[in-house]
Amino acid sequence: VYSGRLDSVVEVLLVANTAMLVWENLPALRGSGAAGGDTAASKRAADSTDGRVDSVWNVLELAFALAFAVESVARIWALGMRRYWRSLANRFDFVVTWTAVLVTLVVYLPNAFSDSRAIRLVLTLRLFRVARLLSRYPSVAFVAHTFVQTLPAAGELLQGLFALAFAYSALGVAVFGGQICSEEAAGCSAERAAALQETDW
């Protein structure tokens, strides 16, 4: 812990965990899924809800949960709980790690809940650790600092854009309200409903 070797190992694990999450969710990120008749995606969806460790992804999720739990215990053992808990980063790591362990136990131990996507959801929070890792690089830290500094001004701009969008929405309802309707709608003429029947509306 004190030599920094643990930090190096954890950095490698964080990058590997990020790569695993991206690769595992690549079909969803590309927009292909079970709805499109993709049998592989259908199998993945079924595997993620059967509550069994029966795929490479399940094994990797368990391995990462165990590795980060060992890291957390090692840091607490070396630093002591009081000193460990003083760091906000350690608190975040502790909560994410042990939530992942708890969710993993709930999913894989026999019970009514067996959806391993819950583990993936918790593991996604670990990506914030990767962002923290990137912040060690001066150029990345500079961009992040600049972004945070612009947030107050961006907030005022977003408020103005929201007001403008709301005004256009209200105008659209006032001008075009009731133009798109069906026969069941009150006040909709049969001619208008018939005219819209063969369209996307």
Tell me how far apart the alpha carbons of residues 51 and 59 are, in angstroms, rounded to a whole number: 12
User: What pLDDT is recorded for position 17?
Assistant: 83
User: What pLDDT is recorded for position 35?
Assistant: 44
Q: Is the pLDDT of residue 99 over 50?
A: yes
**Residue 144 — very low, low, confident or very high, per pLDDT cuts 50/70/90?**
confident
Tell me how far apart the alpha carbons of residues 159 and 72 are, in angstroms, rounded to a whole number: 42
Average pLDDT score, the chain = 78
Residue 25: partners with Cβ closer than 8 Å, 6 or more residues away: 120
Tell me how far apart the alpha carbons of residues 20 and 12 are, in angstroms, rounded to a whole number: 12
How many Cβ atoms from other residues are within 10 Å of residue 65's Cβ? 24
Q: Is the pLDDT of residue 46 over 50?
A: no
pLDDT digits 0-9 by tens, 146-167: 888 888 888 888 899 999 999 9
Q: What is the mean pLDDT of residues 127-149?
A: 80
Phi-psi region of 52 (alpha: psi -120 to 50; beta: other; left: phi over 0): beta
Q: State how far the alpha carbon of 86 is from the alpha carbons of 68, 78, 80, 91, in Å.
A: 19, 14, 10, 8
Contact 57, 20 (CB under 8 A): yes
State the sign of the Cα–Cα–Cα–Cα dihedral 87, 90, 23, 39. negative
- The residue whose two tokens read 């923290």 is 132
Record the pTM.
0.56
User: What pLDDT is recorded for position 178?
Assistant: 66
Percentage of the chain modeled with pLDDT above 70 = 78
Q: Is the pLDDT of residue 179 over 80?
A: no
